[in-house]
Amino acid sequence: MKLTILLFAAFCASAADLPHVTIIATGGTIAGVQKSSTSTTNYKDSELAVDALIDAVPEVKDLAQINGVQFSNIGSENMNTSLLLRLSKLVTTLISNGSAEGIVITHGTDTLEESAFFLDVTYDMSAPVAMVAAMRPSTALSADGPFNIYEAVALASSKTAINRGVMMTLNDRIGSAVYTTKTNTRSVDTFKAVEQGYLGVFNDKTPVFYYYPARAYKKPFFDISGVDSLPKVDILYGHIDSDVTLVNNSISNGAKGIVVACTGDGSLPTTWKEIAKYWTESGVPIMRSSRTGSSYVAPGKDNLTLGEYSYLNSGNYNPQKARILLQLVLNEFGGSNSSLVQKFFDPY
């Protein structure tokens, strides 16, 4: 009897000692269902509620004291700036008021990297934030969601994950929010940072880090506590026959900045010389990025130079991350000082 009481007391003490981790559910395939267990397409994403996600992995309760929050239940293609502003504020509030020592955010894979990047540059605290997703719906044979959630909770509750910014974790890998991108429409091994690699891996439930999130850039931070909206920034796609007049359409539709996913290292047809003129006339900065998926765009392109006019380049950021950074920079500093805006995209 005495031994039972002692064991029970020891169990209670150790459970109460576990860190508090909040799982914020936003939707995606990880919460998806499909009638057939052998089909991983044409399922309904964003069906399961946060409690069902947690109940599917009772083992997380050995890692942390878990609290679930249903933030939204949407496919991540429906994520938007106003939700991201709210999500970032929620993360900061939960950490700063002591309700959580680590955060897990379940999300769709399609725009996971954008939300992760947005949070990374608007969250300034040391507690770990682990973004997690799945490529197979919850009903599939070998669904990847439950184990990914287990590893995300292990990451969010690990002391070794402190001060590493916002991370993305799937398929036993830990990726940086800044560099990691979705590279494959189907495979569970879709998230990669081609040039920079992973930050670490899991050895069972233990995150093993290779690197701190090294940055070629100074880590920007934007205080969005009083911000409810951000300027509209569009992405246009470069290709053979690409039409420069789309820039004008974008500007007349309210874009305050434009990122072009250019071919190669930022090349555009000579007909796009006009972009520099559009910028000067409209005050809307135009930034060259690359559709290739990795590495830098060239700072200047002779064939696009038009007198004193110039344009910005996205450095190492892919178009979708450059778009978010440009939104935040324009919101805080406006677009008239081009060298100030460019500084946020330049390596040290």
76 is a site residue for ligand GLU (CB under 6 A): yes
Q: Closest residue to ligand GLU, Cβ-based?
A: 108
Which helix (H) or strand (E) segment holds residue 202: the answer is strand 200-203
> Looking at 70-78, 248-256, 277-285, 309-317, which segment touches ligand GLU (CB under 6 A)?
70-78
Among 22, 29, 313, 318, binds ligand GLU (CB under 6 A): 29
Q: Which is nearer to ligand GLU, 137 or 315 (CB)?
A: 137
Number of residues lying near ligand GLU (CB under 6 A): 12
Of positions 23, 54, 75, 191, contacts ligand GLU by CB under 6 A: 75
Which of 55, 62, 77, 223 is in the footprint of ligand GLU by CB under 6 A? 77
Question: Which residues, numbered 86-115, are part of the site for ligand GLU (CB under 6 A)?
Answer: 108-110
Regarding 140 and contact with ligand GLU (CB under 6 A), the answer is no
Q: Residue 19's CB: how many other CB atoms inside 10 A?
A: 17
Identity of residue 84: L
- Cα 105 → chain centroid: 11
Report if residue 135 touches ligand GLU, rule: CB under 6 A: yes
Which residues partner with 312 through β-bridges? Answer: 287
28 binds ligand GLU (CB under 6 A): yes
What CA dihedral angle connects 264, 182, 178 and 75, to 10 degrees? 130
The CA distance from 95 to 80, in Å, is 23
Give the length of the chain: 348
Tokens of 84: 């991201």
Is residue 109 part of the annotated active site? The answer reads yes
**Out of 29, 92, 106, 122, which one is annotated catalytic?**
29
Q: Closest Cα to residue 117, out of 25, 213, 184, 206?
A: 213
Write the Ramachandran bin of 266: left for phi over 0, alpha for psi from -120 to 50, otherwise beta: left
Please give the positions annotated as active site.
Answer: 29, 109
Question: Which parts of this chain interact with ligand GLU (CB under 6 A)?
Answer: 27-29, 45, 75-77, 108-110, 133, 135
